[in-house]
Amino acid sequence: MSKQALDRILQSQGFGTRKWCQRLIEDGDVCIAGEIITDTRACFETSDLQFAVYDEVWKFREHLYIALNKPADYECSRKPSHHPGVLSLLPEQFALRDVQPVGRLDHDTTGLLLMSDDGAFIHAQSSPKRHVPKIYVAATHEAVTPELVKHLLSGVKLNDEPAPLAAIVCEKLDEHTLKIVLEQGKYHQVKRMLAAAGNHCTALCRTEIGGLKLDALGLKEGEWCYLDDAQLALLKPAE
């Protein structure tokens, strides 16, 4: 339980500097329980707090845990250079909260991308020690052969990696489509593994992380949702 002044609450939720939040409040743009609050220092219990800014209702969230169905042609980098950044698909104030992608997908990769402003969560999810499987569906230029599947399962040597990297699951879905499950998240890993095994990835989608399935979230490309505790629990490594 924590009580905070309204200007601090708005600032923590990404609505701007403290000064800017004070102005919003004084101008009558902030409502709580249907009442316009103009006292910037009025204190509120933050757990379960709902507030409206410019008539849009928000729930107080200490941290943000978000799943995005990333479309192609968006960059995960903080300073996108050739395409818009994935942050542009989220409400503006999330950027001010320093929401970041958890790991990266290439600009042309689609599918499940986690985003958060919780540094400990981002760190834990990105740790190589954490064996959370990531499931990809890859389209291939050459037909998928039993040899390719075998090669990806037994491990392929990538230039800058000391040891071969192997898929933990690799299944042919159709003539030119492969399901591939990885526990690491190395740079361009799926594409480089396919190239090293003599094929070429023509499209890539991440469909699951741990037990969290993109399909179950019901997000169209470009849509996002908050993750609840049950969904976050699906991201934990198997015991």
**Active-site positions?**
106
Interior CA angle at 181 toward 216 and 230, to 5°? 35
Binding of ligand URA by 188 (CB under 6 A):
yes
25 exposure class (CB count in 10 Å sphere: 0-12, 13-18, 19+)? buried
Size of the site for ligand URA (CB under 6 A): 8
User: CB under 8 Å, gap of 24 or more: what pairs does 17-24 form?
Assistant: 24/53
Binding mask 219-238 for ligand URA (x = CB under 6 A): --------------------
- Interface with ligand URA by CB under 6 A: which range of 60-68, 162-170, 189-197, 228-236? 189-197
Instruction: Compare residues 97 and 134 and give the one whose CB is closer to ligand URA.
Output: 134
- In sequence order, the 6+-apart residues with CB closer than 8 A to the CB of 188 are 106
Binding of ligand URA by 106 (CB under 6 A):
yes
What minimum distance in Å lies between the beta carbon of 134 and ligand URA? 7
Residue of the chain from 40, 69, 109, 110 that contacts ligand URA (CB under 6 A): 109
What minimum distance in Å lies between the beta carbon of 84 and ligand URA? 17
Binding of ligand URA by 161 (CB under 6 A):
no
What minimum distance in Å lies between the beta carbon of 221 and ligand URA? 15
Binding mask 3-42 for ligand URA (x = CB under 6 A): ----------------------------------------
Question: Quick one: which H or E segment has residue 134?
Answer: strand 134-140
Torsion of CA 21, 25, 28, 34, to 10 degrees: 110
- Cβ atoms within 10 Å, residue 233: 12
Lookup result for tokens 């316009």? 36
Instruction: Compare residues 167 and 204 and give the one whose CB is closer to ligand URA.
Output: 204
Burial 205-220 (b: 16+ CB within 10 A, else e): bbbbbbebebeebebe
Alpha-carbon span 177 to 152, nearest angstrom: 14
Binding of ligand URA by 204 (CB under 6 A):
yes
Lookup result for tokens 């090669």? 151
Binding of ligand URA by 180 (CB under 6 A):
no
Instruction: Compare residues 109 and 125 and give the one whose CB is closer to ligand URA.
Output: 109
Residue of the chain from 25, 170, 190, 214 that contacts ligand URA (CB under 6 A): 190
Binding interface with ligand URA (CB under 6 A): 105-106, 109, 188-191, 204
